[in-house]
Chains A and B, each alone.
Chain A
Amino acid sequence: MKTDELIAALAAGTEPVDPRLPLRRLLLATLAGAALGVPLMIGLLGLNPQLAQAAQWPMFWVKLAFAAAVAAAAFAVALRLARPGVPVRRAAGALAIPFVAIWLLAAAALLASVPGEREALVLGSTWSACPLNIGMLSLPALVLALWVLRGLAPTRLRLAGAAAGLLAGGLGATVYTLHCPEMAAPFIGTWYVLGMLVPTVIGAALGSRVLRW
């Protein structure tokens, strides 16, 4: 087939396409991924029995806002990476904001505490379960986000996989706040971050294989 014939064939019977499709699909994957994480959390971990009281503490909302902000910033990066030739540097820079904010809060909490309390602020009582639980809760969103990216056109596969993973991690962490009893910023800044890195690393590792097109 000559190139001119290929062009004629591709253009024959052109159907309209919606350029907002990438946004809509990734949004759908995000909502569905978060929604699937909730029954997983309730079934396997259970709601925090003190959730009603916890919600009266500002720190509960800080924790929730941190996790949701990471998901939102990673969403913006993933959406840009899904379109060929769109620069991501600025969007990736915005990703640092929630992390810097939680680490500043953590530093302030550690500085304000007496030396004997510091270990408890970092470790809480659930540190050993937190990262893997967040990783587990992020799995449905990771699968959906990678699947959506596969149908778009990422050209930087590892990065796109990592962005999908961080989006899923932010969603998993958001859902996990409904189970997690911890309220200290140093805890969130350590174990939540590690938990969100679990799907990020998995996404980056899978990206170069599953996102090829």
Chain B
Amino acid sequence: MKPTPDAREARLRELMVAAQGGDAQAYAGFLRDLTPFLRAYLRRRLQALPDDVEDLLQETLLAVHNSRHTYDAAQPVSSWAHAIARYKMVDLLRARAGREALHNPLDEEGAELLTEAEPAAAEARRDLRVLLQQLPDRQRLPIELTKIEGLSVAEAARRTGLSESAVKVGVHRGLKLLATLIRKRR
């Protein structure tokens, strides 16, 4: 039997709370479980722009990551993720075509997010790796070393000559800047 949206909500919430506590495995699980629902949601809403779905999904995942401190465990995690996806989608539609592109009413509930999943990834058109090259070294290197090569903060600090806190700040600021670059390029 397929899990109900309520069961999915409970599971995702558990993972997210653990992720906020620093559990990397729970966090990867949270993002992996959430992604097919975000993809289905964005595809449903962006029927006129099917080629943008995977890019917007990646942008939404980055936004979820950058605002993970704003999730409050008293709140349904589906409402939180839904509001972020919806915000990024509206932002894209405004940039593309103005408000008139919003044919579908957008006043749906957050719980709707967990009704339908789309596990098959499409090809992203924008390569975040290329965009990453535009960041200054003090942000790009910490991201490449800790996030892509998988080094620890201490190792990345040794490799770059930065302090450990400078590595953490570089990752944090760099991912925010990456989100801004995505936004500015459309």
Contact = CB atoms under 8 A, between A and B. Distances in A.
Interface string B1-38: 00000000000000000011111110110011001000
B20 A13 contact: no
Contacts of B148: 9, 12
B28 A4 contact: no
Contacts of B124: 1-3
Contact of B82 (A7, A21, A85): A85
Interface residues of A, number: 30
Interface in A1-50: 1-4, 6-19, 21-22
Interface string B146-186: 11101111000000000000001000000010011001000
Residue of B22, B67, B76, B143 with most partner-chain A CB within 10 A: B67
B75 A12 contact: no
A8 B67 CA distance: 17
Contact of A152 (B31, B67, B151): B67
Contacts of B22: 14-16
A52 interface: no
Residue of A11, A22, A83 with most partner-chain B CB within 10 A: A11
Interface of B: 19-25, 27-28, 31-32, 35, 54, 57-58, 61-63, 65-73, 75-76, 79-84, 86-87, 91, 110, 121, 124, 127-129, 143, 146-148, 150-153, 168, 176, 179-180, 183
